[in-house]
Structures are given as structure tokens and as C-alpha cells.
Amino acid sequence: MLVSPRKNGSLPGRNRLRLVSFGFIVFFTTISAQLGYLTVWQGRPEKPAAEYSERVPRPDIVDRNGVVLATDVSFFSLYADPRKILDVDEAVELLTATVPDLDAKTLRQKLAQPNRAFVYLKREVSPSERDAIHNLGIPGIGFRAETKRVYPMGRLASHVLGYVDVDSKGIAGIEKFLDDQGALYTASLGEDNSRAMPAVLSIDIRVQHALADELAKGIAKFRAKAGGAIVLDVRSGEVLGLVSLPDFNPNQPDKNFTFDQANRMTSGVFELGSVIKAVSFAMALDYGVADLTSRFDARAPLVIGRAVIHDFQPTRRILSLPEVFTNSSNIGTARMVLGVDAERHQAFLRRVGLMDRLVTELPENAKPILPKRWGRLVQATIAFGHGFAVQPLQGAQVVAGLLNDGNMLPVTFLKRDAADARAMAKRVVKPKTSETLRYLFRLNGLEGSARSANAKAPGYRIGGKTGTAEKVVNGRYDKSRNLTVFTGAFPMENPQYVVMVLLDEPQATPETYGFSTSGWNAVPTGGNIVARIAPLLGVEPILTDDERKAIAKQAQKEGRT
């Protein structure tokens, strides 16, 4: 068979050509892939995980009147790509000479990492530092535009606002709520699609300031260890002000806050003493086991088994129901509550929410401490707030509901519409019970342990209930350490606001004649608060003739006309 010389000679040549072409294709493909990898991936600085996910910018937080309480400000941070640093020693020398607070040893360790594409060298460089570093022209050194959370009011409302960490993640307070549950705020953008709509709080910063100022004065005057105060809108459940002292500054770079700086009003539980008597009276009145004509024997201590219940200031006589309230009689209150069986007693406490944890937008909320077994003695002691601990805000919420025609509202730290508030109302007692309780509160403000509040805030018709509880120290009640509480409301003919004041271990002063109970410290502090905030809230004083005379006499004494 004859083979064509042309075909026979071209076959090896074509194979070589194919092989060379394939080699060039593989070579250029490899080079292109490597260049693409270096350009697209390794050319990018390594970002923290949080920065890879696209997030809506953190919303501002404003008070109910639009005053900014928390916002983001822009700044630049200094970073390096260690792979591009040509001379580590030279870079360290130049940078430390330009920015003296950079530590040379730490800086060298960060730059001497050839496998790293991104390391922070300094967060928040000043504009002058940025310009100076830029002019150095060091390869691999750059700046990242970032934001920082700032709180223009400083310590004011710090426990409500909370704070964020260095990566702008909410750690406490409303800031944490916005991250954990506040999708409504973080997902609603403004018109420019670059900033989230602000989170509008129920807090009135004017009220918050007055509250913090008067509480601080009360703590100083009575040499208390700490304290707290709340102002609650009865008709909407909105918290207009909440203070816990000592507080903290959320702008502080180091967020290692102490236990004493915790929010006592929500994250702490306390025996609120006789404040719980308001709940006991409401229960007895609502169940029909007592009314204003009922009388209770307080001539001698009440003996239950081996326990003996005394009154702080014994009257040693039979008391009417209003007298039991104004004299804050433990004996009379216990006898009244023992007319209700334990099951119904627990059912009422559950109805008003005292058996469960109070949950609000603030993540810091403590669970009540309840007795494990319910017997006749437990019933009697719980009647006057002994052996039963709840959040102070929880106590304020219950009192607000009892005085609001029996309609209790869930408390909130977010601004709430009036119509929404009415829809959330839950009836806990009959309107008649609420009316009677309002009468008892006002009577106590005129004749009982809360009367000094009216003296401090004449014309605002304050009513309230006091409470003094021995603190538990090392598992035992310490008679030398008291927690004093005043829960008041005004104006009592139509309560609009509830004020609670708590003082931790207040001391007796010459002015209090050696007493350190609530009527001598928490009550006058509460009166001062009402006098400050009532005008801000649009409540006008209506002075009686006696109040006018008292004001004129005081003005004359102080040399005023």
C-alpha cells in the first residue's frame, strides 16, 4: 500500500503544534487565575466577620421630644497589610515617631506577620494623625472609615440606653434590644436609604434630669449607699424617667462597670416593704372581705405558731381600715389578708403580675423571689411585703394599674400611642376598688406617713404609700440596714403619674430626729421630685388656703416677698 509523503510528514508536526498550544493555554490560564486571586481576594483587607454582612446603619436613639440620646459619628482607623510592608523596622520607627501612643513592641509584632492581609494598628486616629501618617507614604498602611457610638447626654439615662462594644454591637439596655428584638427600628430606613429611622423612647429627658438630680441630692443628704427612682405615666404605661445611682458613662472606653452600677430598678429585686400593702388592700377590697367600715384588732401582736408579728409604731387599739393604711399596721394588714385563702391570694398576685418576671425592652430584668411554701404565716408576712421580693419597676407598674380604674398597662420604654395603650389595658380590679384605693392613698398623703411629700410639693395633691424593709445580709435580716421606698401618685383626684423613690441604707440625721424610715427620707425626696417634674408635665398646682399660708410663711422666713 502506498502512503502519501505529504500526509506522512505532517502528522508529527501537527502533534507538536497541539502540544505547544496546550502548554501555552495552561500557562496563561494559571497566570490569569493567580492574578485574579491576588487582585480580587488577597488585595482586599481582611474584615472582621461582622463587616462582611451588610447591615442597616445603627439608628439614633431619641427621647419622646426628639432630643438625641445616642448617635453614630464617623472616624478613621489605622490598619496595615503586613504582606506589603517592605521594611518592618523602618515602618515601626516612622509610625511611633508620628503617633507616640503606639507601642513599638506591639506594633512590630503586628507588622511582622507576612501571612496576614489585615491588622488594626489604632482605632480612632485624629485628623492630624491621619494626615501625618498619610504623608509618610509607607506601603501597606491605610485607613478605614468607621463609626463610633456616642451618647451626648453622658451619664443621663445610661441604664435605659445601655451601650455598645467597639464593633457597635449592643451590650445592654435599649442598645441590646435594638440588636436582639428591634428589627422594626434597624430595618426602617430614612428617605436617603442610608440611616435607619430613630428609635423613639418614652423617656422625657427633662424629667430624667430632674429625677437624677433630686435623687442624687436625697442620697447625699441621707448618706444612702445607693438609690433609684421612676416616673411612670399611669394612662399609657410609658416610663418617662428611670434612674439608678451609682450610674455609669456609656462613652467610657473601658466598659468594666461594677456591680454597684447595675440597674437596681429592673435587674434587682427587693422587698418593697409596706408598698406591697397597697396590693393587699386592693385584694381584700376587690374580693369583698373588707371595706372602709371594716375594723381590725391591733391591740396586741399577732401570734402565728412560733412567730410574732409586731407593728413598727404600735397603736394598741382596734383600727378602722383607713387607720390600718395610714398607720401602716402590719398586724391589721395581716388580719385583713388572712380573710382570703392562700389559693385566692396567690391568684390575685398572679393577676397583677407579681408572680412572674416583668419583661420590658430592657434585657436586664430579674425574676421575683417567692416563698416556696404557702401557709398561714407566709400569707400574713407577704401581706406587708416581708419575704417577697420584686423589681421596683414591677411594683410601680402594679400601683399604676390599681389607681388607673383597675386597668393595668404593660410598661414600656418606647413611645406609645394613646389608642394602643388603651387596647393593651388589662383589668385587674373593679373601678370601685380603684376609687377606694385612691382615697386611701390621698388620705395617707394628708394624714399618714406620706404627708411630707405634699409639704414639699404644695398644690399637686400627692397620695402614696411608704415602705421600710430590713435588708437581707448573709441570709439574715439586718435590723441596722434598711431599704426605704415611697410610691406616690399625682394629682390624686385623677392620677396621671406614679413616682417611686428607693433609698438603699439611708442614715438618720438630726433633722429626722434619729429615724431612718421611709417617711423621713424617701417621701420628702419624692416630694421634691414631684415639685420639679409636675410643671414640666403640665400639671398645675391648686393651692389650699393652708398651703398658701405655709408658702407665705416660708417666704417671709427666707426674706422673700
Positions marked catalytic: 274
C-alpha cell at 281: 388592700
Please tell me the total number of residues recorded for the chain in this structure: 561
The count of C-alpha atoms lying within 13 angstroms of the C-alpha of 400, restricted to the half-sphere facing its C-beta, is: 28
For cell 456609656, name the residue. 250
> Measuring CA to CA, which residue among 99, 122, 124 is closest to residue 110?
122
β-strands 61-62, 199-200: how paired? parallel
DSSP one-letter code for 246:
S
What is the distance between the alpha carbons of residues 478 and 492, in angstroms, rounded to a whole number? 35
Radius of gyration of the chain (CA): 34
Neighbours of 532 (CB within 10 A): 17
Chain mean position to CA 370: 23
What is the distance between the alpha carbons of residues 102 and 94, in angstroms, rounded to a whole number? 11
Neighbours of 552 (CB within 10 A): 12
Q: Residues 328-340, buried b or exposed e (16+ Cβ, 10 A)?
A: bbbbbbbbbbbeb
414 φ/ψ angles, rounded to the nearest 5 degrees: -110, 145
Give the DSSP H/E element, type plus range, for residue 71: strand 68-80
How far is the CA of 148 from the CAs of 71, 123, 157, 272, 423, in angstroms? 8, 10, 19, 40, 39
* Single-letter code of the amino acid located at 512: T
Give the DSSP H/E element, type plus range, for residue 216: helix 205-221
Q: Are 409 and 401 in contact (CB under 8 A)?
A: yes
How far is the CA of 59 from the CAs of 159, 176, 393, 485, 518, in angstroms? 18, 12, 26, 36, 41
Helix (H, G, I), strand (E, B) or coil at 479: strand
Q: Are 168 and 53 in contact (CB under 8 A)?
A: no
> Measuring CA to CA, which residue among 522, 516, 442, 532 is closest to residue 481?
516
* Single-letter code of the amino acid located at 273: G
